[in-house]
Amino acid sequence: MLVHPGFGIATPWAYQQLARFPQAVNGRPGRARELIARLQSADLATAGAEFYNSLEAPALEKYPLLELFQEFLRANGAAATLMSGSGSTTFAVFPNQAAAGALVEKFKSRFGQATWLAVVGA
């Protein structure tokens, strides 16, 4: 599922803000290898815990609505959720397309009709 809140986040702004979040910039050594290993051998929810985007730190601080989106999606069955690039689009990975599709109206009911949503298959 893709969710766009109706506003964008400038990529230059997001990168400039990273200086305030050194833990996000430096990340954790080996994180990408752990994600690959979990995607190959574990269930999707376990692998989803390793999804990471350093640009989320400044974006979620400035736009807490995006974090609310992610919390809602995880609470309603998303195995993983992450902001795409510098934002503001968030994606959520569900076990199947039907599970994501069933959530569209509930999401719009909670966050309003102005939010753009798309459910796409893998």
Q: For residues 117 and 120, give the distance between their C-alpha atoms in angstroms, rounded to a whole number.
A: 10
Cα–Cα distance list, 41 to 11, 47, 51, 93, 120 (Å): 34, 9, 15, 17, 24
Given a contact cutoff of 8 angstroms between Cβ atoms, the answer to whether 79 and 49 are in contact is no
Q: What is the pLDDT of residue 114?
A: 81
If one counts the domains in the chain, the total is: 1
**Containing structural domain, residue 43:** 2-118
Q: What is the pLDDT of residue 26?
A: 67
Q: pTM here? A: 0.85
For residue 93, give the CATH number of its domain.
3.30.70.890
Listed residue (119, 120, 112) closest to 6, CA to CA: 112
Q: What is the pLDDT of residue 27?
A: 67
Q: What is the pLDDT of residue 44?
A: 80
Q: What is the pLDDT of residue 9?
A: 96
Cα–Cα distance list, 118 to 52, 58, 70, 102, 105 (Å): 22, 25, 15, 12, 12
Q: For each successive 10 residues of the chain (122 residues), what is the average pLDDT?
A: 95 93 77 82 79 91 96 94 93 92 94 89 78
